[in-house]
């Protein structure tokens, strides 16, 4: 099937050749969402393997045992990506595939190392630059059982650093773009505050047997920040001089707009919400070197304190700002003292503002609406506050009407809703670059429909439709995949 896209007219015409010649574009994925082969070829159990085999945890009762079978089908996937014209691919390594039990003294699974070597080689042979994430939420279950995973900073850190070093050693000759953690904030908010993701801890006993949302959330975040910084320090001192790569972290963050722009309390609340969501991680790493004052004043001693030594390694520990973003919310201030389990900054998040304006058209995912103007504002907010090069590492949407039986009709594959999402967001990205914001990559989320964590197979984020019923997990390109290729050809400067 072919679709043609024409960018000769305004406003696209004005955006031609806006992006730097070496701008990277492609798709992002995560090991637990695509690989499958969850317990074969020596792979150890991760907290997501345990989670999805616990009844009642995943919406459609599915597991990630097979996912899209990317482990088996990586050659086919690389060929398909190449046909889309990508220049880069962002994927994550499964820690428990490489070190099944996870720990510093535990054995390495050479079959797991081989798999990633093969994938990296296949990408490079096809002219696709690998961007590698060390951690996309799938902590080895053995470390969770031994000492509570990231709740135990002292025990966890050496295990993580050994894993990171092993990856630099084995893959760093070819991998020049490293991301330590994917969305440390979502890992802890969903896993320890809401308890709806692995390792499924929270204060809410109807959902989770153990946990304390009011403290553990911030302890785990602290472990992530400091262990990220230690891994970056080792990379810079011991590997970067000869491997010459970059290392950074990817943070999540949606934009917050005031519910009532004329109410100073809502304007302040929107800024506070951005601080709780984004600056929580970004201020220590890229900014002041410490947690935002707004968080300290609400959370007091429940928010950990950086030691002087930690502070000195955390600040400046990321070569770039890895940015995942999807949508925008309206934010209204709440009166009175914040709830003990609040993580948003004592605000309410809403779909419409005080004038009844909607935050955007609905996708097939409850929290996600198309909201390009907030995305443009967010790029400026990040740039103005931190002034580091931005690598967009995830952005994308689901679309209604994609839950059909194979083969999907031409109409289903013509995913204009997703095309419009990408088009509107990429216009904002190109305009931000014209305004001087330094943006160096864009990875669409995601390459193929996949296993969407606790939403199972119900949320289809792919630019490629997957027949999950079939043994071969047959892939069908959607129009959006070709749209991205065409639009990036227009946006990226030639030569
Ligand atoms: C990314 O997370 C992940 O990196 C990726 O693995 C995942 O598949 C992808 O997005 C799509 O979900 O408080 O009700 O407003 C994004 C995680 C999910 C974080 C929604 C913020 C807001 C829920 N985001 N969440 S709500």
- 138 Cβ partners below 8 Å, 6+ apart? 30, 31, 32, 46, 47, 48, 49, 92, 94, 95, 96
Strands 347-350 and 328-333: antiparallel
Backbone angles phi, psi at 133, to 5 degrees: -100, 125
Check pocket membership of 461 for ligand 1, CB cut-off 6 A: yes
Check pocket membership of 324 for ligand 1, CB cut-off 6 A: yes
Check pocket membership of 428 for ligand 1, CB cut-off 6 A: no
Tokens of 153: 């900073």
Check pocket membership of 369 for ligand 1, CB cut-off 6 A: no
Tell me the pLDDT tens digit for each residue of 154-167: 999 999 999 999 99
Measure 240 CA to ligand 1 centroid, in angstroms.
Answer: 32
pLDDT at res. 460: 98
Tokens of 198: 């692995």
Is 402 an annotated catalytic residue?
A: no
Instruction: Give the start-to-end residue ranges of the domains of the chain.
Output: 13-491
Distance from C-alpha of 22 to C-alpha of 486, rounded to nearest angstrom: 17
Q: How many CB atoms lie within 10 A of CB 316?
A: 13
pLDDT at res. 2: 75
Check pocket membership of 138 for ligand 1, CB cut-off 6 A: no
Tell me the best of 252, 276, 343, 447 to mutate to test the pocket of ligand 1, counting ligand atoms within 8 Å of each CB and taking the most.
252
pTM to 2 decimals? 0.97
Can you list the positions of beta strands (E) in 208-340?
A: 246-252, 255-258, 321-324, 328-333
The dihedral sign for the CA sequence 125, 131, 134, 137: negative
Tell me the pLDDT tens digit for each residue of 219-252: 999 999 999 999 999 999 999 999 999 999 999 9
Give the closest residue (by CA) to ligand 1 atom 17: 186
What angle separates helix 110-125 from helix 153-171, to the nearest 10 degrees?
50
Tell me the pLDDT tens digit for each residue of 37-52: 999 999 999 999 999 9
| Three-class SS state of 167 | helix
Rounded average pLDDT over 251-259? 98
pLDDT at res. 271: 98
- The catalytically annotated residue of 45, 183, 257, 310 is 183
pLDDT at res. 112: 98
Q: How high does pLDDT run on average in the chain?
A: 98
Rounded average pLDDT over 320-327? 98
Check pocket membership of 186 for ligand 1, CB cut-off 6 A: yes
Could you identify the atom of ligand 1 that is nearest to the CA of residue 183? 4
Check pocket membership of 35 for ligand 1, CB cut-off 6 A: no
Rounded average pLDDT over 180-185? 99
Distance from C-alpha of 23 to C-alpha of 186, rounded to nearest angstrom: 27
Give the closest residue (by CA) to ligand 1 atom 9: 445
Tell me the pLDDT tens digit for each residue of 436-480: 999 999 999 999 999 999 999 999 999 999 999 999 999 999 999
Distance from C-alpha of 6 to C-alpha of 8, rounded to nearest angstrom: 6
Distance from C-alpha of 360 to C-alpha of 351, rounded to nearest angstrom: 8
User: Which residue is associated with the tokens 């085999």?
Assistant: 53
CATH 3.20.20.80 correct for 13-491: yes
Distance from C-alpha of 289 to C-alpha of 283, rounded to nearest angstrom: 6
- The catalytically annotated residue of 394, 402, 428, 452 is 394
pLDDT at res. 495: 75
Measure 186 CA to ligand 1 centroid, in angstroms.
Answer: 7
User: Which residue is associated with the tokens 């204060």?
Assistant: 203
Tell me the best of 217, 365, 394 to mutate to test the pocket of ligand 1, counting ligand atoms within 8 Å of each CB and taking the most.
394
Rounded average pLDDT over 88-115? 98
User: Predicted confidence band at 1 (pLDDT cuts at 50, 70, 90)?
Assistant: low
- Bridge partner residues of 91 (DSSP): 132
Backbone angles phi, psi at 347, to 5 degrees: -135, 170
CA 84 to chain centroid, in Å, comes to 22
């Amino acid at each position: 099937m072919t679709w043609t896209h024409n960018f000769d007219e305004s406003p696209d015409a004005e955006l031609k050749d806006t992006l730097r010649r070496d701008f990277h574009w492609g798709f992002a994925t995560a090991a637990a969402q695509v690989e499958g082969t969850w317990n074969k070829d020596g792979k150890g159990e991760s907290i997501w393997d345990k989670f999805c085999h616990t009844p009642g945890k995943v919406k459609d009762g599915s597991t990630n045992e097979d996912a899209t079978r990317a482990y088996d089908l990586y050659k086919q996937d690389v060929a398909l990506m190449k046909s889309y014209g990508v220049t880069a691919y962002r994927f994550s390594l499964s820690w428990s595939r490489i070190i099944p039990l996870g720990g510093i003294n535990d054995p390495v699974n050479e079959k797991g190392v081989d798999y990633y070597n093969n994938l990296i080689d296949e990408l490079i042979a096809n002219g696709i630059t690998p961007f590698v994430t060390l951690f996309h939420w799938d902590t080895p279950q053995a470390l969770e059982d031994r000492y509570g995973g990231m709740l135990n900073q002292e025990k966890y850190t050496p295990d993580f650093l050994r894993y990171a070093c092993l990856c630099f050693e084995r893959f760093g000759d070819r991998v020049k773009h490293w991301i330590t953690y994917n969305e440390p904030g979502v890992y802890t908010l969903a896993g320890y505050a809401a308890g709806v993701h692995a390792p499924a801890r929270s204060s809410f006993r109807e959902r989770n047997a153990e946990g304390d949302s009011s403290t553990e959330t911030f302890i785990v975040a602290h472990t992530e920040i400091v262990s990220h910084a230690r891994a970056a320090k080792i990379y810079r001192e011991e590997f970067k001089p000869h491997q010459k790569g970059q290392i950074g972290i990817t943070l999540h963050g949606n934009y917050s707009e005031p519910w009532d722009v004329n109410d100073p309390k809502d304007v302040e609340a929107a800024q506070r919400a951005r601080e709780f969501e984004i600056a929580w991680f970004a201020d220590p790493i890229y900014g002041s070197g410490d947690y935002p004052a707004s968080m300290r004043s609400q959370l007091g001693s429940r928010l950990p304190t950086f030691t002087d030594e930690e502070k000195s390694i955390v600040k400046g520990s990321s070569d770039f700002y890895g940015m995942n973003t999807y949508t925008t919310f309206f934010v209204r201030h709440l009166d009175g003292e914040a709830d003990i389990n609040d993580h948003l900054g004592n605000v309410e998040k809403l779909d419409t503002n005080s004038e009844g304006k909607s935050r955007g058209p609905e996708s097939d995912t409850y929290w996600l609406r198309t909201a390009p103007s907030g995305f443009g504002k967010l790029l400026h907010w990040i740039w103005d506050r931190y002034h580091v090069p931005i690598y967009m590492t995830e952005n994308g949407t689901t679309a209604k009407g994609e839950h059909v039986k194979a083969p999907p009709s031409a109409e289903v594959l013509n995913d204009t809703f997703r095309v419009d999402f990408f088009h509107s967001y990429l216009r904002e990205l190109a305009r931000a670059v014209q305004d001087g914001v330094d943006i160096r990559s864009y990875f669409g989320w995601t390459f193929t429909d996949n296993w969407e964590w606790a939403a199972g197979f119900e949320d289809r984020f792919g630019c490629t439709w997957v027949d999950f019923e079939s043994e071969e997990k047959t892939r069908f390109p959607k129009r959006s995949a070709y749209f991205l290729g065409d639009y990036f050809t227009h946006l990226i400067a030639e030569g």
